[in-house]
Amino acid sequence: MKLIVFAIFLATVTARTTDFTSERNSLVVPDNQNDFLERVRQTVPRQRNTITGRISNGNEAANGQFPWVTRLTIVDEPFDTFVCTGNIISSNFILTVRHCFDPVITVQVIADAGDIDRLSNNIVTRFSDFWWFAPVMQPGNFQPDLAVVRTSAPFVFNNRINTIRLPALSQEAFEWPGQQMRIVGWGRDATGNMPRFLQYGNFRMQTNCWSQRRQTHLCSVAENINVETRGGDSGGPWVVVEGGIPTLVALHEGSTGSSTLWWFRGLRITSFLNFIHSVTGIPIRS
């Protein structure tokens, strides 16, 4: 009897202490950050083959409109740079998508926040010292496209830098059908160039786009057929306003479709709330 009770107890403890952080990596913060930044600023960001999405023919954001959005510069060896979009969820933690990184050769992630103009003197820059990748949810399932990045120094919040609210656990099965949503990002513009200003587009949430991945993904269509997402918007927030509060329901992954109908795919945040809490300690609403 004692053995049975102990076995049940052990199984319970094991279930509660699942290693959510099995995929992680430390990053070396350069000793001379100013020199490193100057070198980064002189590079021309490339486009990683796995990165799809940019907001072209969208709208220019205003300062303070999306204070949680960061412009992420991913630095790979020997010194290639790539741009993605991130979301501040606490003073030291940023959410973005995994496919922005190369786990073997990515050496640093630089987060810029505080202004919609990437050339502004008001930009606040933070280096990163650690990242975590979300684990496979079930054996044989696909690798989730979620990354949590920790900055080496905290952001100081003001009207231009702040967090975005995460969804609640009770919204696990929500799809927000027909609801207006915005995607925000630092992706390339319609000419293929890196934009100077942060962009966003208006979209409508849809259902049943990818029935095989409804547990982990959401989908939407643009309100204007000319609005697209392109390289650099990866990781950008899908923002639904609930009770007047912007809520991060998904991270932008990519898009697919034709000239008459274009679907946009986002990684559902509610599927990874326990993982996010285990890494960051951020309280999750019930």
How do residues 92-142 score in pLDDT, each as one tens digit?
999 999 989 888 888 999 999 999 999 999 999 999 999 999 987 665 567
Q: In angstroms, rounded to a whole number, what is the distance separating the alpha carbons of residues 23 and 143?
A: 11
pLDDT (0 to 100) of residue 277: 96
Q: Are residues 152 and 185 in the same domain?
A: no
Q: Are residues 133 and 193 in the same domain?
A: no
pLDDT (0 to 100) of residue 26: 86
> End of a domain among 163, 193, 213?
163
- Report the CATH number that the domain containing residue 121 is assigned in CATH: 2.40.10.10
- Going by pLDDT thresholds of 50, 70 and 90, the confidence category of residue 9 is very low
Q: Is residue 248 part of a domain?
A: yes
Q: In angstroms, rounded to a whole number, what is the distance separating the alpha carbons of residues 64 and 10?
A: 49
> DSSP letter at 176?
-
Q: Are residues 156 and 43 in the same domain?
A: yes
Taking 90 as the threshold, does the pLDDT of residue 197 lie above it?
yes
> End of a domain among 112, 137, 163?
163
Stretch 193-198: mean pLDDT, rounded?
86
Phi, psi of 112 (to 5 degrees): -110, 135
Average pLDDT, the chain: 83
Read off the pLDDT of residues 52-92 as tens digits, 9 standing for 90 and up. 444 556 789 999 999 999 999 999 988 888 899 999 999 99
Q: In angstroms, rounded to a whole number, what is the distance separating the alpha carbons of residues 49 and 53?
A: 11
* All residues at 6 or more sequence positions from 106 whose CB lies less than 8 Å from its CB, including other chains: 27, 74, 75, 76
> End of a domain among 133, 163, 193?
163
Q: Which of 24, 212, 235 is nearest to 134 (CA)?
A: 24
Structure tokens at 259: 């000239």
Grouping H, G, I as helix, E, B as strand and the rest as coil, residue 274 is helix
Residue type, 207: T
> DSSP letter at 208?
S
Q: In angstroms, rounded to a whole number, what is the distance separating the alpha carbons of residues 25 and 149?
A: 10
Structure tokens at 168: 């609640």
pLDDT (0 to 100) of residue 6: 31
Structural domain for 147, as ranges = 20-52+64-163
Contact between residue 139 and residue 133 where contact means Cβ atoms under 8 Å apart:
no
Helical residues (DSSP H) of the chain, grouped into ranges: 2-16, 33-41, 273-280
3-state secondary structure 109-145: EEEEECCCECCCCCCEEEEEEEEEECCCCCCCCCCCC
Q: Which of 195, 194, 202 is nearest to 228 (CA)?
A: 202
Sign of dihedral through CA atoms 19, 94, 166, 204?
A: negative
pLDDT (0 to 100) of residue 25: 82
Q: Which of 247, 198, 241 is nearest to 71 (CA)?
A: 198
